[in-house]
């Protein structure tokens, strides 16, 4: 087997809704290929659906913070290696340590609990769509709808007063901005840490009917652990869904026959959401793992300590898993995509995200049946510079 060394992760897209073409070529020829990481480490890039699932489900691949090497740069420079995860920051832990924290939250995110939130989410969506109408044609749908809806939902769940959202929205955005120097990203992270730590302190005096209070009341956690778990939910809970609402709307508007089918039969929404997740794969440079021991994978040996970058967007366009993967088709069975990851770290908030999208898209197109872009599609600013892909703005018009 000829082994090519890729000097960097392919990131340049030839069209806004498609992954870099190079990833598709790699998936055909070398679904696990040698990749040089920006910090000089030699590792691997996985582009097929089968191998992506294999790595993500295998406990011999670690997600511990201090072992990772980032496949991308911040401000043009390699991202320095990180210290071990702070207590409660379970996304960057393995095994029992990870499971202990995750278990304390999984009961809060069951399918049943999330379904119980539907009326409240519908009300939040309704209020924001009224706002969109009030602002009138030309309104930016990101600012008026896509960002505030998931933001408000996660604020309510955690017990963050919505007035406080502006600072953490700004700081979360900074976290994912790849053009910023790492020091700036770090500083934004620390500001969110301080904010949540303060919030947890206040919850002792003013307990509420929210998840942070609930975590405090388990009596099993230190304040620092509660704060870090809360931080994780706060950061993960709004940028991702917000960007799916934004770029999902752009995608539907760009496929009028699909949108017409959805409008004619709103029960297609469940499938539409899965297909949008698959087709768009907005976590554009994830996921990453590090081998804890030598592992045979797809005909190569990944050596202990080597990082593996798993391209979710390449996996979700794998023709071995999805027929005509380049086509956006809301009728296809799209389940089995890895947009929420796979394995024990699979997104904890995925059922909430699904519901926000289902309620959000259906209400949007019911309220504005003739919704259309207010600018040519080529002028919609895409988030090539962000770790979470999407649109920076989405100016729309309606009658």
Q: Residue 382: which region, alpha, beta or left (left: phi > 0; alpha: psi -120 to 50)? A: beta
Question: Smallest distance, Å, CB 275 to other proteins?
Answer: 16
> Quick one: which of 81, 106, 116, 161 contacts other proteins (CB under 8 A)?
106
| CA pair distance 61, 98, nearest whole angstrom | 14
Question: Smallest distance, Å, CB 49 to other proteins?
Answer: 12
**How big is the site for other proteins, counted in residues (CB under 8 A)?**
30
Neighbouring-strand partners of residue 35: 6, 43
Our CB check for other proteins shows the closer of 113 and 331 to be: 113
Tokens of 101: 């924290």
> Interface with other proteins includes 111 (CB under 8 A)?
yes
User: Coil, strand or helix: which one is 114?
Assistant: helix
Our CB check for other proteins shows the closer of 55 and 147 to be: 55
Nearest to 224 by CA among 40, 128, 87, 46: 87
| CA pair distance 18, 398, nearest whole angstrom | 27
Our CB check for other proteins shows the closer of 179 and 335 to be: 335
**E strand or H helix at 348, and its extent?**
none
Our CB check for other proteins shows the closer of 56 and 245 to be: 56
> Interface with other proteins includes 116 (CB under 8 A)?
no
> Interface with other proteins includes 7 (CB under 8 A)?
no
Question: Smallest distance, Å, CB 346 to other proteins?
Answer: 4
> Quick one: which of 63, 177, 249, 351 contacts other proteins (CB under 8 A)?
351
> Interface with other proteins includes 301 (CB under 8 A)?
no
| CA pair distance 22, 9, nearest whole angstrom | 10
Our CB check for other proteins shows the closer of 52 and 188 to be: 52
Helix locations, 265-349, DSSP H:
269-280, 312-315
Question: Smallest distance, Å, CB 310 to other proteins?
Answer: 14
Helix locations, the chain, DSSP H:
21-29, 49-56, 95-106, 111-116, 118-135, 141, 148-158, 165-175, 182-205, 211-217, 223-253, 256-264, 269-280, 312-315, 350-367
Neighbouring-strand partners of residue 291: 61
Annotate each residue in 308-327 with x if it binds other proteins (CB under 8 A) or - if it does not, as one string.
--------------------
Our CB check for other proteins shows the closer of 90 and 389 to be: 90
Cis? peptide before 287, omega within 30° of 0: yes
> Interface with other proteins includes 347 (CB under 8 A)?
yes
For the chain, how big is the Rg over CA atoms in Å? 21
| CA pair distance 187, 150, nearest whole angstrom | 24
Our CB check for other proteins shows the closer of 280 and 353 to be: 353
Question: Smallest distance, Å, CB 106 to other proteins?
Answer: 3
> Interface with other proteins includes 57 (CB under 8 A)?
yes
Our CB check for other proteins shows the closer of 113 and 126 to be: 113
> Quick one: which of 42, 222, 346, 385 contacts other proteins (CB under 8 A)?
346
3-state percent helix, strand, coil for the chain, nearest multiple of 5: 50, 10, 35
> Interface with other proteins includes 271 (CB under 8 A)?
no
> Quick one: which of 108, 135, 271, 397 contacts other proteins (CB under 8 A)?
108
> Interface with other proteins includes 136 (CB under 8 A)?
no
Give the residues lining the site for other proteins (CB under 8 A). 56-57, 99, 102-114, 335-336, 340-348, 350-351, 354
């Amino acid at each position: 087997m000829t082994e090519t060394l890729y000097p960097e992760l392919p990131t340049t897209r030839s069209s806004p809704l498609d992954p870099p073409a190079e990833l598709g070529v790699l998936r055909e020829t070398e679904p696990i290929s040698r990749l040089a990481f920006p910090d000089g480490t030699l590792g691997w890039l996985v582009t097929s659906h089968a191998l992506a699932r294999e790595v993500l489900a295998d406990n011999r691949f670690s997600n511990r913070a201090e072992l990772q090497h980032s496949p991308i740069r911040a401000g043009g420079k390699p991202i320095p290696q990180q210290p071990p995860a702070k207590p409660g920051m379970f996304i960057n832990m393995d095994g029992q340590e990870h499971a202990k924290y995750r278990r304390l939250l999984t009961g809060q995110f069951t399918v049943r609990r999330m379904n119980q939130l539907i009326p409240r989410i519908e009300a939040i969506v309704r209020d924001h769509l009224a706002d969109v109408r009030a602002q009138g044609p030309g309104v930016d749908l990101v600012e008026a709808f896509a960002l505030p809806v998931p933001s408000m939902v996660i604020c309510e769940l955690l017990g963050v007063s919505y007035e406080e959202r502006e600072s953490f929205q700004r700081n979360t955005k900074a976290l994912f901005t790849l053009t910023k120097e790492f020091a700036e990203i770090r500083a934004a992270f620390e500001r969110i840490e301080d904010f949540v730590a303060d919030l947890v302190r206040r919850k002792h005096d003013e307990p509420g009917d929210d998840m942070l209070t609930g975590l405090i009341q388990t009596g099993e956690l230190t304040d620092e652990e509660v704060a870090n778990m809360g931080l994780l939910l706060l950061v993960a809970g709004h940028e991702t869904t917000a960007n799916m609402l934004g770029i999902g709307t752009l995608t539907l508007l760009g496929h009028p026959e699909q949108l017409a089918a959805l409008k004619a039969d709103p029960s297609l929404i469940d499938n539409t959401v899965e297909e949008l997740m698959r087709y768009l794969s907005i976590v554009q440079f994830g996921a990453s793992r590090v081998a804890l021991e030598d592992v045979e994978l797809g005909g190569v040996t990944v050596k202990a300590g080597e990082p593996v970058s798993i391209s979710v967007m390449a996996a979700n366009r794998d023709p071995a898993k999805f027929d005509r993967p380049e086509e956006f088709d809301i009728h296809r069975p799209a389940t089995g995509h890895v947009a929420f990851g796979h394995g024990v770290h699979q997104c904890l908030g995925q059922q909430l995200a699904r519901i926000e999208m289902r309620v959000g898209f259906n209400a949007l197109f019911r309220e504005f049946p003739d919704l259309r872009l207010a600018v040519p599609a080529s002028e919609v600013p895409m988030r090539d510079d962000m770790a979470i892909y999407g649109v920076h703005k989405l100016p729309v018009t309606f009658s």
